[in-house]
Structure 1
Amino acid sequence: MRVVIYEVKGPSAPIGMRDGYYQGSREYLDIIVELIGEGGPELKKMIDDSDKAGTLEYSLAKARVDKSGSWAGFAINRFKIPPKLKLESKEG
């Protein structure tokens, strides 16, 4: 399953920080997923499963305006975040 998380910004908004980590970093994404998970364990599991499968997309969507200040669409840039590794247990 593919899951997409967007950080949505206004035309002049800078990249934000949380707990010392910038939007677009692995650490920031992990914090956001924990916060999203507060909405329900099923949602967090779906995101975690997608992350481990390498199908989680984390992107920045930024509004654009033209010279007159009118809406001119948006640009989407995908953050390059490596997927979480699956931990394999070994019986010994």
Structure 2
Amino acid sequence: MSPTAASDADHAPAAGGIAADRLRSVIERVERLEEERKALSADIKDIFAEAKSAGFDVKIIRQIIRLRKQEPAEVEEQETLLDIYRRALGM
């Protein structure tokens, strides 16, 4: 057992070999991050509402964001296939 693990075990009551303080810490950190994620989601929603009120098409903005996350070669491949499929359908 490492010195850190031993000191953690000394300070936290254990039930079934689980250090309660350590478990509580992990759970509370995840809960804090989930709250931050909710706040960020609300901020993003507000930005999309602002874009919509400025006359931008939110659906297209989401597509652009998705494309910017991809590698350029991947985007080019998808666009090529889309073009091939459109021509096959006479579009």
The structure showing larger relative contact order (alpha-carbon pairs under 8 Å, at least 6 residues apart) is 1
TM-score by length of 1: 0.23
Which one has a bigger Cα radius of gyration? Answer: 2
Q: TM-score scaled by structure 2?
A: 0.24
Give 1 or 2: higher helix fraction: 2
